[in-house]
Amino acid sequence: MNTRSNANHSRVLAGIRKYYNDLRDSERRVADFVLEHPEELIRMSIREVAEQVQTSDATVIRFCQSIGFKGYPELKISLALDFSSPLYNFPSGISERDDIMSVASKVTQNSIKSLDSTYQHIKEESLNAAIEMICNADRVFFYGMGGSGLVAQTAHYQFLKIGIPCFAYVDPFLAAISASQLGKADVAVGISYSGLTKDLIKTISTAKDAGAKTIAVTSDIDSPLARICDLTFEAVSRELPVFGVAVAARSAQYAVIDILYVGTALRRKDEALSAIKKGSLAVTDKSILV
């Protein structure tokens, strides 16, 4: 991928240059950072950009709006589209010239970094609150579309195994219907790498309007999904999707679900062990033991 060529032909950067003289001084500082570090910005949260420029989140948002975007997430998506083809992206440090063992090492290291960053961003009070929600819920619904749907289905398997009445929906139509039928005793967990998936945001909004408590698992705590949820867990990933799949981000999403799963199992240890025993007996073919 020719980064210099992409930078020269980026519609976003061209737009920034077009509006540059009309920007406030504080917004120009943001513009300068974006023009100098466009690819780095794709992997950064709005908070990180504000800290780099020594300004506020609100200024970053105003800058985005001044150059024609609704907000920061839309700016990042547009930049990512300018700088990469969905079929030709590589995570940080990986080149098409790498041999397979170098690829294996770098993919592993990217996942390790993502997992470590995810742990560093987790707050104890949020974990306790989420586990409390799940333990006290009548039902827990996991929602995810595309690759995040796999994480939702895994969560369904894990929590069902320890006796939590739960469901997973990966089809947008069925997800919307189920969300409309939730109540105050239910919990809806939305899983999305970008936090921008329209169908998922609509589903979680519907669940919230119905009275359910809501939890987000996403890589962008400033995303629309995160903003509408009661609790948000940041599955940290600074990678671009590789061939359309956010590899390290998936590992981080699984890690968040695993932490909630183990924490819930420990909180209700007796019920969890009983449920695991019943499940094991139900799936064991006893005839081969005779």
Q: Could you say which DSSP state residue 88 is in?
A: S
Q: Which residue has the tokens 């009070």?
A: 125
- pLDDT surpasses 90 at 284: no
Q: What is the pLDDT of residues 71-120, one digit of tens each?
A: 888 888 888 777 654 434 455 566 778 888 988 888 888 888 889 988 99
Q: What is the pLDDT of residues 177-191, one digit of tens each?
A: 999 999 999 999 999
Within 8 A by CB and 6+ apart from 116, the residues are: none
Q: Which residue has the tokens 């962008």?
A: 220
Q: What is the pLDDT of residues 143-188, one digit of tens each?
A: 999 889 999 999 999 999 999 999 999 999 999 999 999 999 999 9
Count of beta carbons in the 10 Å neighbourhood of residue 258: 13
CA distance 63 to 55: 11
* pLDDT value of residue 66: 93
Nearest to 157 by CA among 34, 283, 61, 62: 283
Handedness of CA 217, 117, 227, 43 (dihedral sign): negative
pTM > 0.85: yes or no: no
CA distance 139 to 272: 15
